[in-house]
Amino acid sequence: KTVAPTIFGYSISASATRTNTAASQLLRDFQTVKTFLTSTGINTLFDAPWSIIYIVVIFLIHPYIGILTLIGAVIIVSTAFFNAAATNRTLGEATEFSIKGMVQADIANRNSEVVEAMGMMKNVTANWHKFNIASLEKQSIASYRNGAISNFSRFIRNIMQMLVTGIGAYVVVSTRGEAMTTGGMIMSSIIVGRALAPFDNAIELWKSMSGAIKSYKNINQLFNAFTSRDEAMPIPHVKGYLTVENIYYATPVPPYLAQPAVPRYILKGISFAVQPGEILAIIGPSAAGKSTLSKVLVGVWKAHSGSVRLDGGEIYRWNREDFGKHVGYLPQGIELFSGTVKQNIARMLENPEPEKVIEAAKIAGAHEMILRLPDAYDSDIGPAGSNLSGGQKQRIGLARAFYGNPKLIILDEPNANLDEAGEAFSIVGGR
């Protein structure tokens, strides 16, 4: 309950700032660790200390049986390490293929209309299936090895119990009950089984434990790589003076690739100022850096040098929740959240003020369109807005940007997916 919200927030921030390309895997890693810690197999670890006590008791009953038990424990533990060496790499490869397959499936689902319309189902399925097959093959190899080693471990434990019974019977008969009684023989056989059981169960536990350890390391790696914002004191009574001073921004290079000698800058030496009430339009060809600039202006990405300030305060250092009250942002790709229309306009507030929601919708030219929906502002838009058309999602995204009368509004291609009337509204709304 305490850690989950923090990890969820880290995963979103890491994805937005491109801190880690595998940030979407973070919640799955957290779920893996949580499942392991709440599983019944974890009890095996708590039973392990009792094995030492049982072995001591067995030595007190008879040293021969104690030595035999120690030999059995060493063999089983060695088997567990051998199991890890034989399966860990294969399981890791299976997980990697599985993740790649899930990414392909997610992309295919997001482009389902394109797949259906252009008959791409066979090719897309084949592209996903090759990762699925590779993952299944690796999992099958790992499962076969794990099963064989587990059966060998159980065989050793059963042999040990039979040997203990045989040695105990021999000692009882040869010493006529002086070195060990019949009751001691029976008790030693039972205790040996209890002493070796945790070691035997450790092999079964190792698969889930190794996965949990790997997931825990992934979480730690993200936490260590993630740089939290050095938040400054909030500025009250924001008026909307935007100043951009000589900013540079280069494309991040993944750590596993060679770093270039000279960074490839997308933004170079950009400076301008916008007064409250002014509109600045930035035009240019595709891949000129317009969307990159918009992300830097709202503090999603940090400029490598230079500064972006609102009323004199460094935007990137502003507390995100406080800064969000003063900014409206429409990204190039509109993404809505599962919920109602009013929740999406009000930035996912549970009970927003109706007046503010309607005002934002009217500014975006979305009010009449929303009233035509089945439940108007209470209409469920479906997962990621699947019940809406592209133009409807665009207008709701615009309304979300205008919600609360922010002092700074950044719109990236606000007229995309809009007809002429909608495009006119987006221009008027910006003014």
Q: Which of 116, 121, 201 is nearest to 154 (CA)?
A: 201
Which range has the top average pLDDT, 89-103, 115-129, 258-272, 280-294? 280-294
Q: Which of 338, 395, 391, 327 is nearest to 365 (CA)?
A: 395
Q: How far apart are CA 58 and CA 36, in angstroms?
A: 32
**Residue 313 belongs to what H/E stretch?**
strand 313-314
pLDDT of residue 65: 84
Question: What does the chain come to in residues?
Answer: 431
What is the DSSP secondary-structure string of 279-296?
-------TTSSHHHHHHH
The answer to whether the CB of 120 falls within 8 A of the CB of 93 is no
Dig out the tokens for 225 from the structure.
């790589």
Which of 26-40, 91-105, 176-190, 405-419 has the lowest average pLDDT? Answer: 26-40
Check: pTM over 0.85? Answer yes or no: no
Q: 35: which strand partners?
A: none
Question: Looking at the predicted structure, is the pLDDT value of residue 392 above 50?
Answer: yes
pLDDT of residue 83: 78
Q: Place 9 in a pLDDT band, splitting at 50, 70 and 90.
A: low
**Residue 329 belongs to what H/E stretch?**
strand 327-330
Indicate the DSSP class of residue 340: B
Which of 206-220, 335-349, 393-407 has the lowest average pLDDT? Answer: 206-220
Indicate the DSSP class of residue 20: -
The answer to whether the CB of 26 falls within 8 A of the CB of 222 is yes
Residue 78, classed as helix, strand or coil, is helix
pLDDT of residue 348: 84
pLDDT of residue 421: 47
Average pLDDT of the segment spanning 393-401: 89
Crossing angle (nearest 10°) for helices 3-17 and 182-225: 40
Q: How far apart are CA 54 and CA 188, in angstroms?
A: 9
The answer to whether the CB of 248 falls within 8 A of the CB of 306 is yes
Average pLDDT, the chain: 79
Q: Place 225 in a pLDDT band, splitting at 50, 70 and 90.
A: low
What is the DSSP secondary-structure string of 165-232?
HHHHHHHHHHTTTSS--HHHHHHHHHHHHHHHHHHHHHHHHHHHHHHHHHHHHHHHHHHHH-----PP
Question: Looking at the predicted structure, is the pLDDT value of residue 417 above 70?
Answer: no
pLDDT of residue 427: 44
Average pLDDT of the segment spanning 142-163: 83
Number of Cβ atoms within 10 Å of the Cβ of 154? 14
Q: Which of 393, 419, 253, 250 is nearest to 331 (CA)?
A: 393
pLDDT of residue 258: 61
Amino acid at position 382, single letter: G
The answer to whether the CB of 379 falls within 8 A of the CB of 341 is yes
The alpha helices in 308-378, defined as continuous H runs, are 320-324, 341-345, 354-363, 367-371
pLDDT of residue 44: 67
Q: What are phi and psi of 388, to 5 degrees?
A: -115, 155
pLDDT of residue 13: 60
Dig out the tokens for 42 from the structure.
């974890």
Question: Looking at the predicted structure, is the pLDDT value of residue 144 above 50?
Answer: yes
Domains of the chain: 3-225 (1.20.1560.10), 237-318 (3.40.50.300), 326-431 (3.40.50.300)
Q: Do the strands 305-310 and 313-314 form a parallel or antiparallel pair, or are they unpaired?
A: antiparallel
Q: Place 226 in a pLDDT band, splitting at 50, 70 and 90.
A: low
pLDDT of residue 16: 57
Q: How far apart are CA 11 and CA 285, in angstroms?
A: 32
Higher pLDDT pick, 150 / 231: 150
Q: Place 321 in a pLDDT band, splitting at 50, 70 and 90.
A: confident
Number of Cβ atoms within 10 Å of the Cβ of 245? 15
